[in-house]
Amino acid sequence: MTAAFDGLLAGALDIERTETGLIPRRLPAWTRPQITDPYMRLMVPRPAGVRLVLRTDAGALELDVFVTRFRNAYFPLFPVAFDAVVDGTRVLSRPVRDGDLCIVRAGAVTDTVRGVPETIRFDGLGPGWKDVEVWLPQAAVVELRDLRADGAVTPGRLPERKWVHYGSSISHCAEAGGPTSAWPARVARAAGLDLTCLAFAGNCHLDPFVARTIRDLPADVITLKIGINVQNLDSLKERTFGPALHGFLDTVRDGHPETPLVVVSPIICPTAEDRAGPTVQDGQGRYHATGSTSGLTLVRMRELIEEAVASRADAALSCLDGRSLFGEDDADDLYDGLHPNADGYRRIAERFHALVFGPNGMAVPGA
């Protein structure tokens, strides 16, 4: 009964209607024909940052859902959960136990264990009227089927300041343990921001359709955390990376000429600092840069990003070195040599919040 969700969804830019429910998607419908990569097609409906925003006097809510989970073939399944945030402070987390489970190798689904629908119940919400946000699992595909409550439900209010963030798996945060533990979600909640999360694991390649999406969205702050996927796939060379970044920034600026815009370079990845991609998994699932002769190292990529930002006459544009978020001293928390674990994402959130949205932050007007 998809009408139950009318006016409640935030962070989704498109809705896929099915025979039994609806699937939130994180890019507009017009982008569908332009998404030619199969792995990107798997990322757009994974609802990082998507939540139901409502006001209710109910003591309990129930969601009927069908969830498709994804497990890297080399590692155990990371926790998949729905989180309810009550009045901005109390977080209730409910694990996903059923639904499909897809096994992924090198970005492709190689096996699927079929599952069944389930009901996610949040009880103990407390008496009286309250604001509730139900954050959907950031690294699963969620079909919403019905919403029930033992009281009234009305659309809630979103924060006034809008933040659009673009990034890779290191912003998608499959390993974070839950949707509100992903670092962009932590930052948005701490800073009181309405988040639109355009983080696509394996697929942050400066695609023009993403730039046009950001151009057309309302935004008070825009952040772009770029580079690692380009190195991973060796998808752009020194000749093309700089122009692609400038073109992306040009398009964004067409819609947001004066909006604070922060470009964030890659965090530490020891195997790729001085070796170019592609980056591949070994037999234990750890990532290693293979060192192509014509590719970009992370050291060089950070230099190119800094040069591109510095070359633009743009007082509202700044560059943040990703190693200030997660650097050499943090590398032990790269569980596979590339991705942070849950503790690593927590530290990224704390540092990003301070550097970008703190009292003298890069996105604070006049700072």
The torsion of the CA quartet 267, 269, 275, 277, rounded to 10 degrees, works out to: -80
Residue ranges and CATH numbers for the domains of the chain are 2-155 (2.60.120.260), 162-357 (3.40.50.1110)
pLDDT tens digits for 187-227? Answer: 999 999 999 999 999 999 999 999 999 999 999 999 999 99
The torsion of the CA quartet 251, 257, 260, 261, rounded to 10 degrees, works out to: 20
Count of CB atoms situated within 10 Å of the CB of 154: 11
Distance of alpha carbon 124 from alpha carbon 127, whole angstroms:
9
Residues 6+ apart with CB under 8 A from 315: none
Residues 6+ apart with CB under 8 A from 366: none
Q: Is 143 helix (H, G, I), strand (E, B) or coil?
A: strand
DSSP β-bridge partners for residue 72: 104
Distance of alpha carbon 269 from alpha carbon 257, whole angstroms:
33
Q: Is the pLDDT of residue 367 over 80?
A: no
Is 0.85 surpassed by the pTM of this model? Answer: yes
Please, what is the angle between helix 238-255 and helix 298-311, to 10°?
40
Distance of alpha carbon 78 from alpha carbon 139, whole angstroms:
9
Query: What is the separation of C-alpha 34 from the centre of its chain, rounded to a whole number of angstroms?
Result: 20
DSSP secondary-structure letter at 76? P
Q: Which residue shows structure tokens 């998404």?
A: 35
pLDDT tens digits for 75-132? Answer: 999 999 999 999 999 999 999 999 999 998 877 888 999 999 999 999 999 999 999 9
